[in-house]
A = this chain, B = another copy of it.
């Protein structure tokens, strides 16, 4: 019934490759089906001006898409001289979500920036970015511990993200691009591995959605995120 042929509660294959590039303190290629995102975490021993001298650190993120990561070529934002609204919105979402996972005071006056660059898009790029970014963040923090910059990890939770939606009246898990384009409702759910919500963002694409649809979608998200978090943890255990 789904265009993808998957069961209503079935994730796409999720694959996490650590140490994908050699320079970043944490570097992850995350693949969720055909969606592929490079997540590079960079550590800097300084904080933004508004935090100077406050004894705490900062975690932020930037999101981008290669111009031909999509079906038709998009204008390169650097050439255009301006990031689009969607890009800005997603960058803020990723950064906010990751900050919820970290004890910023325990991080000390250090910054971690996670760059999420989509090299191939097939729906769910913001959720894949968060899932991959959290692993890159964990690696970057580990590198700080190894380097003696930190004594203990300030990472409070693993977080992961998945999209759920209502498609032809049914709640479905982890929408790919053809499903996302036709969904009536789209809900991005970011959860911590303690079972709490870090962020939820739901949008009625067609008609307003009802509370029971919200409940059904949140249940699917919970199931999917448990699986994704497991994959994150196995990846970090290797």
Which chain B residues border A88 with CB–CB below 8 Å?
85, 88-89
Q: Does A70 contact B (CB under 8 A)?
A: yes
Q: Does A81 contact B (CB under 8 A)?
A: yes
A residues with a Cβ closer than 8 A to B are: 21-24, 27, 34, 36, 38, 40, 42, 44, 62, 64, 66-73, 76-83, 85-89, 91-92, 96, 100, 113, 115, 117, 119-121, 157, 191-192, 194-204, 207-211, 214, 218
A115 & B85 in contact (Cβ 8 Å cutoff): no
Which chain B residues border A38 with CB–CB below 8 Å?
66, 119
Give bound CA distance, A76 to B78, whole Å: 8
Give bound CA distance, A21 to B209, whole Å: 35
Which chain B residues border A62 with CB–CB below 8 Å?
67, 76, 79
> Dominant SS at the A interface?
mixed
B78 & A64 in contact (Cβ 8 Å cutoff): yes
Which chain B residues border A68 with CB–CB below 8 Å?
21, 23-24, 27, 40, 42, 115
Give bound CA distance, A210 to B195, whole Å: 7
The chain B residue sitting closest to A117, CB to CB, is: B66
